[in-house]
Amino acid sequence: MNKRFIALIFGLLLPLTSFAAKYEEGEQYEVISKTATDQPEVIEFFSFWCPHCFQFEPLVEQIKAKLDKKVEFNKVHVNFMRFTTPEIQEQATRAMMVAEALKKDDVLNKAVFNYIHVQRSPITSLKDLQNIFIVNGVDGDKFDKLANSFGVNNMVMRNNQNIEKYRKFVSGVPTFIVNGKYKAKFTKGMTPDDMVDLVVWLSEQK
């Protein structure tokens, strides 16, 4: 075979090989299951009270923008952090599901984050969360109706089922579980772009 042709092929394959070796099992990710989910998905386990989750939100938007359209992205709000009581965390989960039902989760999640981390205001009940939503254009009666609806109850249940399913792999937040098989590990020295690329790359793995 022509040496120039071999060199050309090698030159084309080398970047692909380097990229494939960029992330290694045990270093930048863990394998937590033998099989992947039927459909590709990214689950972000987070808490509104977690300052790292708050700071990570711009990267979450980048991840969502870079994921293939067939990849489903889900946020799961945890209820086991020590920032506040499990009951208040559950109320925040319920409010997040109301926001999702209204298809305003991006705006309203940001409002809750800002209320806690920018305004430094406490959340003591579902009423406080309702007030945040009202300030951001949500009718109070509609909030109450949705918060107690069958649909939102089911969404809260699914959120908590994901917590139970992956709890042993989620010791802190934010944690990303990808395709039900991989847990992303953000190691020292990784740039924000590396973190985004890692999650996107894992979503492409079977």
Extents of the domains making up the chain: 24-203
The CATH label, of 3.40.30.10, 3.30.390.10, 3.30.2180.10, 1.10.150.120, for the domain at 24-203 is: 3.40.30.10
What was the pLDDT predicted at 21?
Answer: 56
Q: Where are the beta strands (DSSP E) in 25-170?
A: 29-31, 41-46, 72-77
Share of the chain above pLDDT 90, in %: 89
| Predicted TM-score (pTM) of this structure | 0.88
% of the chain residues with pLDDT over 70: 90
Question: Do the beta carbons of residue 169 and residue 177 sit within 8 Å?
Answer: yes
Indicate whether 5 pLDDT > 60. no
The pair of three-digit structure tokens given for residue 198, joined into one six-digit string: 């890692």
- Residue 22: the pLDDT is 80
- In b/e form, how buried is each residue of 186-203, taking b as 16+ CB within 10 angstroms? beeeeeeeebbbbbbbbb
* Placement of tokens 């254009």 in the chain: 137
